[in-house]
Amino acid sequence: MRKLQIPLSKAHKIISPRIAYIVTTIDPKSRVNAAVFSNLTSVSTQPERLVLGVYKSWDTIKNIKETREFVVNVPSKQLIDKVWICGDKYAGNPIPTGINELSIAGLTEISSEKVKPPRIKECYGHLECKVVWIKDVGDHYLVLSDIIAASFTQGIFNQNYAQDIKVSQPLMEISNGFFTFPEKTIKVDRNKLKKFVKKELKTRNIKLSKKLQNYEKVVFSEE
């Protein structure tokens, strides 16, 4: 299949779709701000940390610099219109500084457990974050934060904290007002693939070190 070039200014679209998150912050006057982000990822599990990319001109980064706190809220597909409203300037719905986007979108604030910015009741997952550092990386700031509290709506996860996609239906941004969501969960046949890899290695006469052999004894666990 032929490969085509994409303009470098659009290269980030290759890694879509990405989950759309609503990040809540407060300013020094305790006014709530909500904005939508997909530039967010986990970067450490011990300790639990994430990074958030924020446009330099947005109120979100101004508030984060002042308070060093924010909350990541995870919406389902049912909230697509409310997510777009909170998209604010990016979505072409400029809402003045100091005006609460959650109120305009019809979303409900609930108190967080350990930080001042609120959680969003209608969202199914929440990560309360404290800033570790902020770096200038271009037209964005990169914010590394410790996750100091995490909560979710009952029924979203099983006993092993694997998310039930049919229940959560996470909303994922493609681009320019297009979104999608996963419709089903598929499971890897780990034993079958382990046997396949072992056979391939044997065919190629590749021997494993004792350290690598120990991986066979490891019980699978999710990060």
Q: What is the mean pLDDT of residues 177-185?
A: 91
Q: How many CB atoms lie within 10 A of CB 49?
A: 15
Q: What is the largest CA-CA distance in the chain?
A: 67
pTM of the predicted structure, to 2 decimals: 0.91
> 126 and 112 in contact (C-beta within 8 Å)?
yes
Tokens of 134: 């902020």
> What pLDDT does 62 receive?
97
Mean pLDDT of the region 93-99: 86
pLDDT band at 209, cuts 50/70/90? confident
Q: Are 27 and 33 in contact (CB under 8 A)?
A: yes
Q: Is pLDDT at 219 greater than 70 in this prediction? A: no
Residue 164 scores a pLDDT above 70: yes
Q: Which residue has the tokens 């570790």?
A: 132
What was the pLDDT predicted at 34?
A: 96
Whose tokens are 């979303």? That residue is 107
Domain ranges (residues) in the chain: 10-180
CATH architecture observed for domain 10-180: Roll (2.30)
Asked whether residue 130 carries a pLDDT value surpassing 80, the answer given is yes
The DSSP bridge partners found for residue 152 are 125
Residue-wise pLDDT tens digits, 62-87: 999 999 999 999 999 999 999 999 98
The answer to which of 77-91, 113-127, 132-146 has the lowest mean pLDDT is 77-91
Rounded to whole angstroms, how far apart are CA atoms 162 and 153? Answer: 13
Q: What is the mean pLDDT of the chain?
A: 92
Determine the average pLDDT of the residues in 198-212: 89
* Span 86-115, average pLDDT: 89
Say if residue 217's pLDDT is above 80: no
